[in-house]
Amino acid sequence: MMDPTEKKWIDKYIELRSVYDFSAKLDPKLYFEKKLYKYLQPSGIIYGHPIDLPKEIEIDTTAWPVKERLQVILFESLLASYLLKNNLKGSTAELNSAVIEIESFYNKTSPQLTKKSFFESSKRSEAQILEKLFAKRVSVKAEWNSNFWQGFFHNILLFCDIIVFVEYLNNPKLSSKDLMDYLKNMHIQIIHLLSINLNINKDTKEINVKYFQYFVESTILNKQDKKEASNWHKESYESKFQYNYNKTAWLKRKYLLDLVALSVWADKSVSLLEKEMMAELAQRLNLDKIELDESGFAVESFVLCNWNKVHYLQKKQTYLVLSKRITRRLQNIIEKYSGFIKTEIAENNELIALLKTSQERNLSIEEKNIVRTQLVDILKFVPTFAMLAMPMPLLTIPILLKILPKDMFPSSFNPNSLTVPRNLKRNNIIEG
């Protein structure tokens, strides 16, 4: 067992984690940064809301306090960055090497957090230094989960640590000043982008301005820069897209798009101006329309997969609205890959046999579950879904038949034969 509230939790975590070759479960065809994104996205750290460790690490965190859980997820995110970058499996020796690299990184970017106090012993291990650092780096207030913007600004910037750490791994010789400038510029870009959304969202602007200012205060900008940034929302948004992202790493561009997608998504309705702003932002970030849809899908699938845990987001959306919106996104994404999916269905003999059988008789619950599983497995090979956690409970047979074009199935296939009338109230996971 591991208790993250006790000393030497990092040593215990490394002992437990060393048994997992997590890289074996990740698509080897994915580029390093996309592989890292896929691994971390379901955890919630990208959205500043720590739900759980990635599923590849089978350590139960449900009883852990929120702050300690976030500390461990942040640590795991840094470990994964190091291991994936160096194509390592995660042995004890490799994990200890990662700890040394993480401590060195924070010593460059946050020396105030690694500094030894007067009362501490003269000799400290890198793991002991990191435990103290994470306790200071992560903060959780009692009210952080009750309001979208309070929760949003509170720990959303933690993912910047991951992005800057990746930059450090790519360029180990970067100086402390280089890394701090990189982090500062990213904070400035985030504030600019959020100020755009705040500026065009007139209905909620007055309410959210104070939270935007709290967000500005949580950045590493100096006092004068923060004072100026807190007023950026007063400017017209047309002048805000001023950054050149041509040489910016994919992970950073994706994070910026996800972050703005989350802030736009926080309102139950998305205005035409917000849609236009998101489309222009994606273009400026050199991300195509599918990647724009993927960001919306990533946010919404994360919330749907963790509906009972994301309290501050529940207040902004209803499950029904979310389900309908994510179904539309699924249709848009699948349309691009329809040729691939059609081929996969045609080559799946077991699935085709069951679909043909359904024309002659009603399939059993077990057979319908096989159809559902086979269709979902095919979707998992679509690049978008290979990158993201799909909301599995939502993907019932009726939903799958709705989002998959009819010409993907045998010509004689009748989709109604796989569904049941609502008034029969059959198994709602398999039947819908």
Of the two residues 226 and 383, the one the predictor is more confident about is: 226
pLDDT at 388: 76
Q: How far is the C-alpha of 359 from the C-alpha of 57, rounded, in Å? A: 43
Whole-angstrom distance, CA of residue 237 vs CA of residue 327: 30
Q: Are 119 and 126 in contact (CB under 8 A)?
A: no
Please tell me which residue, 23 or 192, carries the higher pLDDT value.
192
Give 209-222 pLDDT, tens digit per residue.
Answer: 877 887 888 888 99
Domain ranges in the chain?
1-140, 337-424
| Mean local confidence (pLDDT), 182-187 | 92
Cα separation of 30 and 380, whole Å? 13
**Weakest mean pLDDT among 320-334, 382-396, 412-426:** 412-426
Mean pLDDT (whole number) for 286-294: 87
Could you read off the pLDDT of 94-144 as tens digits, one per residue?
Answer: 999 999 999 999 999 988 877 766 555 567 889 999 999 999 888 776 554
**pLDDT, mean over the chain:** 82
pLDDT value of residue 427:
43
Least confident window among 3-17, 149-163, 373-387, 404-418: 404-418
| Confidence tier at 310 by pLDDT (50, 70, 90) | low
CB neighbourhood size of 345 (10 A): 18
276 falls in which pLDDT band (50, 70, 90)? confident
- Quickly tell me which residue has 């490799």 as its tokens: 94
The answer on pLDDT for 314 being more than 60 is no
Its pTM surpasses 0.85: no
Query: How far apart, in whole angstroms, are the C-alpha atoms of residue 358 and residue 371?
Result: 10
- Helix ranges (H only) for 218-288 are 223-229, 250-265, 272-284
pLDDT band with cut points at 50, 70 and 90 for residue 170:
very high
The model's pLDDT over 49-59, given as tens digits with 9 standing for 90+, comes to 778 999 889 89
Q: What is the pLDDT of residue 430?
A: 39
pLDDT value of position 14:
96
